[in-house]
Structure 1
Amino acid sequence: MKSVAADLFYLPNLEFFASVLDSDQILLNPNDYYQRKSFFNRTQILLSNKVETLSIPVIGRRPRIPLRKIQIDYKQKWLQNHLRGLQSAYGKAPFFEYFFPEIEAIYEKEIPTLWDLNLELMTICLKFLQLPVKLEVVESWDGIRPEIDLRGMISPSIPFAERGIYTPFAYTQLFGLDFEPNLSVLDLLFCEGPSAKNILTKSIKKD
């Protein structure tokens, strides 16, 4: 069984899914510490005139907090903005109506912690991609020897091209003349539907 130790992201980008595509098991640890300016609370989508970053506000800025304890700040209007943003960006995409209701249903639960929200969204995205990958939550890394350890590798501060995980394979997007690579997996799902897994396969960086 090929296992990958990974970080849990908010609606992860294509680089993340390319990195776990051929794995059997993704290991996630809710006791890892929260890192600011990470993909734990942000993702990117394509609007008509720009790439937009969607960020989830969290309560408190204390350092060294386990991921499972990070609370979402629902007093801010981020939820409405994210749902409107997805509808504006992808409402006319071929597979929007097929996937969006299940995504929206997760948001409408108003899940208190960012960890639990991300985990539900990750689970539904794996289902949509038809990837037979098992998510395994571990409480400690002691004694665990994953075949691949991606923790800390995929970061917004470093261009994806420098990591050698993902190479863009262009698909039809709704806006713009130039292909925008490595957006949220929702961009691929809404635009390509059942072809998404095949496109991800072609996006794996070849040695």
Structure 2
Amino acid sequence: MAIITELFYLPSIEYFSAIWEEDVIYLDLEENYQKQTYRNRTQIQLANKTETLSIPVFGGNKKIKTSQIKIDHDQKWLNVHLRGIQSAYGKAPYFEYYFPYFEKVFAKKFDLLADMNLALLTVCLKMLQSKTQVQKLDERMANEGIRDIRGVINAKKSYTERSIYRAIPYPQLFGLDFVPNLSIIDLLFCMGPESKSILIQSQKND
């Protein structure tokens, strides 16, 4: 089985619920880049709020392909993201095991957003012990009956409006109320090897 998706930054639990049992993920990198989407942003849970981490990019307001979007390293986003992740999850049970893998990707300071997102996605799949392969989409494949969820996981709409993910609570670090559908790193740092089980339960089969 295969699925066609966009490439997101440290994707949400919903995203991984969508791709979980697929043999291959085909990533569309030749689409025109879209602003204010999960392509360059993700959400984590801090002590008193849900925080959106956003990567500044060049040319996001023009018709530029996702594969060509460059990260604006002149803005000090990297330190903000690393500090935010450490502040949010430094005391999580599995932080010390997994964080070095992510830190190593950030340290490379990729020029292109797609290259960094792909490296981070690969790390996430490895941490989840997933056998799913990741390949770049050849547009001819889109006409071969492959499941296509491009445009479905929309940052401007709640996951509750889609039939992909159902919130399965797990122990989080902050707050009394469970916050669903954060970045996959929330699940990984909090649940470690049990993340796989949570993802399977999170799949909505309506």
Please give the range of the TM-score, normalised by the shorter of the 2 chains: over 0.9
Which residue of the partner structure matches residue 85 of structure 2? 86
1:142 equivalent in structure 2: 140
Question: How far apart, CA to CA, are the structure 1 residues paired with 2:190 and 2:112?
Answer: 29
SS of corresponding position for 1:76: coil
Identity %, equivalent residues: 48
Q: What amino acid sits opposite 1:8 in the alignment?
A: L
- Would you say how many aligned residue pairs link Structure 1 and Structure 2? 205
Structure 2 vs 1, CA of residues 109 and 129 (structure 1 numbering), >3 Å: closer, same or farther? same
What amino acid maps onto 1:142 in structure 2?
R
Q: What's the TM-score, normalizing by structure 2?
A: 0.97
Cα drift, residue 64 of structure 1: 1.6
Residue type of the alignment partner of 1:147: I
Q: Secondary structure at the match of 1:115?
A: helix
Unpaired runs of 5+ in structure 1?
Answer: none
Q: 1:159 maps to what in 2?
A: 158
Q: In structure 2, how many angstroms separate the alpha carbons of the residues matched to 1:29 and 1:165?
A: 19
Q: Structure 1 counterpart of 2:98, which letter?
A: F
Q: Confirm or deny: 8 A CA contact 2:70 2:111 kept in the other structure.
A: yes
Q: 1:61 corresponds to which letter in structure 2?
A: G
How big is the shift at 1:30? Answer: 1.6
Instruction: Name the Cα RMSD after superposition.
Output: 0.9
Match of 1:22 in 2: 21
The alignment partner of 2:25 has SS state of strand
Distance 1:35 1:93 in 2: 33
Helix, strand or coil at the partner of 2:58 = coil
Deviations 1:123-145 (A, max 9, x none): 0000000111000113x312442
4+ long deviations beyond 6 Å: none
Structure 1 counterpart SS, 2:29:
coil
Q: Contact between 2:60 and 2:69, CA under 8 Å: does it hold in 1?
A: no
Q: Distance in 1 between matches of 2:43 and 2:3?
A: 24
